[in-house]
A and B are shown apart, each in its own frame.
Chain A
Amino acid sequence: EVQLVQSGAEVRKPGESLKISCKASGYTFSNYWIAWVRQMPGKGLEWMGIIYPGDSDTRYSPSFQGQVTISADKSISTAYLQWSSLQASDTAIFYCARPLVAGSFDAFDMWGQGTMVTVSS
């Protein structure tokens, strides 16, 4: 069974760092792009960026470039999203998602369960 399982909810203070994860199973991790999507409380979906674990090719939305870092470790089939200095405005649910077709930019047919990140002093 294809699955994306994300790490658990996190509570941090402003200025702290954080790295959340998305572990894939049931398919060849290296062959599919993995995206990260933000959903702020009560709001819509925002595409943050995407990584190809096979060669770590990474693309960012201009809105998130320089604000977060996306990485992947293909040896353990896990993608990451990290912040070096969190702000209260980073409070949101973050989803990882996988496209339909290997090696292609495509619609996301597989989603993680989401990781809630709360940043509060």
Chain B
Amino acid sequence: EIVLTQSPGTLSLSPGERATLSCRASQSVRNSYLAWYQQKPGQAPRLLIYGASSRATGIPDRFSGSGSGTDFTLTISRLESEDFAVYYCQQYGSSPWTFGQGTKVEIK
């Protein structure tokens, strides 16, 4: 089973700042099948990025993903108020599919 470790656990930033979230895999993620999701309280997760770097439909271009192998990054170029949430990475290259433990982006 591939273990995904996200860092940091919590990121305290102000609106307008840049957010950089990390997701490290215990072994290489096949074909860069790595996704990022955003979850707000009381809501289902929302797909942001798939295939490590492709934005899902309707996702603003301030969200970008990069990486391959075992190291992946989600970058939010300029935080807006609606971006404060919890972010999860997920690999779907090897069964069982696994999620990281999440990074909370909070208002500083």
A-side residues, CB < 8 A to B, are 35, 37, 44-47, 50, 59-63, 95, 97, 99-100, 105-109, 111-114
Contact = CB atoms under 8 A, between A and B. Distances in A.
B53 to A, nearest CB: 12
B97 A45 contact: no
Q: Enumerate the 9 nearest inter-chain pairs by beta-carbon distance, A residue then B residue, closest first.
A: A107-B35, A107-B50, A111-B44, A61-B96, A47-B97, A45-B99, A109-B47, A44-B102, A44-B101
Interface residues of B, number: 24
Given A44-B100, A45-B88, A95-B45, A109 B1 contact: no
A75 B92 CA distance: 28
B107 interface: no
B22 interface: no
Interface in B22-46: 33, 35, 37, 39, 44-46
Interface of B: 1, 33, 35, 37, 39, 44-47, 50-51, 56-57, 88, 90, 92, 95-102
Given A44-B100, A44-B102, A107-B50, A113 B44 contact: yes
A19 B97 CA distance: 23
A28 to B, nearest CB: 19
Given A60-B96, A112-B44, 20 more contacts: A35-B97, A45-B37, A45-B88, A45-B102, A47-B90, A47-B96, A47-B99, A61-B96, A61-B97, A63-B96, A99-B92, A105-B92, A106-B92, A107-B33, A107-B50, A107-B51, A107-B56, A109-B47, A113-B44, A114-B44
